[in-house]
Amino acid sequence: MSSLRLGNSLLSTTRRHLTTSRIIRPTILTKSSRLTRAAAVTFTPRYCSSSASSSGSNKDSSPSPSPSSHKDSAWRKMADDKQIPHYLKQDHDRVFDHNRAWATAQETRDPGYFAKLSEGQTPDYLWIGCSDSRIPAEQIAGLAPGEAFVHRNIANLVPNNDLNVMAVLEYAVRHLHVKHIVVCGHYGCGGVKAAMTAKDLGILNPWLRNIRDVYRLHEAELDTIEDETERYNRLVELNVVEQCRNVVKMAAVQQSYAENTYPIVHGWVFGFHDGLLKDLNVDFESMLAKIQKIYNLTD
């Protein structure tokens, strides 16, 4: 796909998503969804402080309870009332209500949409992201079904001994012929935070060791950052860059680029505070050249 066609495709996709969101956003008020809606009201956060207290003018006000404490309290109340099984069933049914509404809207707007979708996939993007439930890859990037092949795991890692991510990369590059490989991390990553904690985390230890190794490699830079949050955010960024480097070490990536001049590898970070993606401007060609002094697999 040329850059012009890709740009037009992304613009068209974004418009379609905006239209879709207006169509399917309202909850379908069926009999089966009433308890779900009631439960949603129960879970509505009530911890938001007034503008005065949030600005720090009311110094005597007590700390607001966390969202999780309200949610836990709501679950305990439903458990006492023996409503949890009913809530879980309605929560399950709500997904299918929304699915039917989405499918109907898609077919109405674009007759034959699902027939075309079933013909196969030719995505331009491979997205390697974090499993965090707050980061839906296609939505934040304005991509439609069929435009991104997605793999997610804790802290968006690309370790060479993980057959899952290695298989995804191999298939995406050699068989789907993706043009872009995106490693996308996010600020506030629980996996990165856990790796910064000197604590035994059981089965998570070997996985988080990959992030701790990133810290070790960049220890001199990170230890000069006095603010803990800033150091944490910088480790998120450095972890993305190191995972991009792990992608570049793969034979499939090197050989495809030598033959086709694609895929290109990108490092991005998502921010919750504004919903924007930050491009870390990974210099793919320079990174590839340095990698191939030791990891050249093109011969």
pLDDT tens sequence for the chain (299 residues): 444 444 455 445 444 444 444 433 333 334 344 444 444 444 443 333 333 333 343 444 445 566 667 777 877 777 777 788 888 888 899 999 999 999 999 999 999 999 999 999 999 999 999 999 999 999 999 999 999 999 999 999 999 999 999 999 999 999 999 999 999 999 999 999 999 988 899 999 999 999 999 999 999 999 999 999 999 999 999 999 999 999 999 999 999 999 999 999 999 999 999 999 999 999 999 999 999 999 999 97
Q: Do 88 and 182 share a domain, yes or no?
A: no
H-helix segments, 119-227: 137-141, 163-174, 190-195, 205-217, 219-222
The answer on 187 and 161 residing in a single domain is yes
CATH number at residue 171: 3.40.1050.10
Handedness of CA 61, 62, 67, 71 (dihedral sign): negative
DSSP category for residue 274:
T
- Which of 101, 119, 137 represents a domain boundary (last residue)? 119
Q: Considering just the CA atoms, what is the radius of gyration of the chain in Å? A: 23
Report DSSP state, residue 124. S
255 and 205 in a single domain? The answer is yes
Whole-number pLDDT of residue 218? 97
Predicted confidence at residue 284, as pLDDT, reads 96
pTM for the full predicted model: 0.74
Same domain, 104 and 85: yes
Residue 231 lies in a domain: yes
| Residue 288 resides in a domain | yes
130 belongs to the catalytic site: yes
> Catalytic site residue 132?
yes
Q: Would residue 299 show up in a list of annotated catalytic residues for this protein?
A: no
The letter for the amino acid at 249 is K
In the set 189, 244, 245, 266, the catalytic residue is 189
Residue in 94, 124, 132, 245 annotated catalytic: 132
Is residue 58 situated within a structural domain?
no
- Please report where in the chains the tokens 């988080």 appear, as a residue: 208
- Phi first, then psi: give them for residue 56, nearest 5 degrees: 90, 5
In a domain, 3, yes or no: no
Does 14 reside within a domain? Answer: yes
Nearest to 199 by CA among 212, 184, 186: 212
189 is catalytic: yes
The domain containing residue 27 runs over which residues?
10-47+63-119
Q: Quick check: is 247 in a domain?
A: yes
Instruction: Report the alpha-carbon distance of residue 221 to residue 24 in Å, rounded.
Output: 47
| Active-site entry in 94, 124, 130, 245 | 130
> Is there a single domain that holds both residue 68 and residue 132?
no
Contacts of 24 (CB under 8 A, 6+ apart): 98, 101, 102, 105
Q: Strand, helix or coil at 128?
A: strand
Q: Is residue 91 domain-shared with residue 128, that is, in the same domain?
A: no
How many structural domains comprise the chain?
2
Name the active-site residue from 94, 151, 184, 186: 186
Cα–Cα separations (whole angstroms), residue 122 to 119, 242, 248: 10, 27, 22
Please tell me whether residues 111 and 130 are part of one structural domain: no
**At which residue do the structure tokens 């629980």 appear?**
190
End position of a domain, from candidates 88, 119, 150 = 119
Assess whether 175 carries a catalytic annotation: no
- In a domain, residue 55? The reply is no
Dist. CA 295–CA 47, nearest whole Å: 52
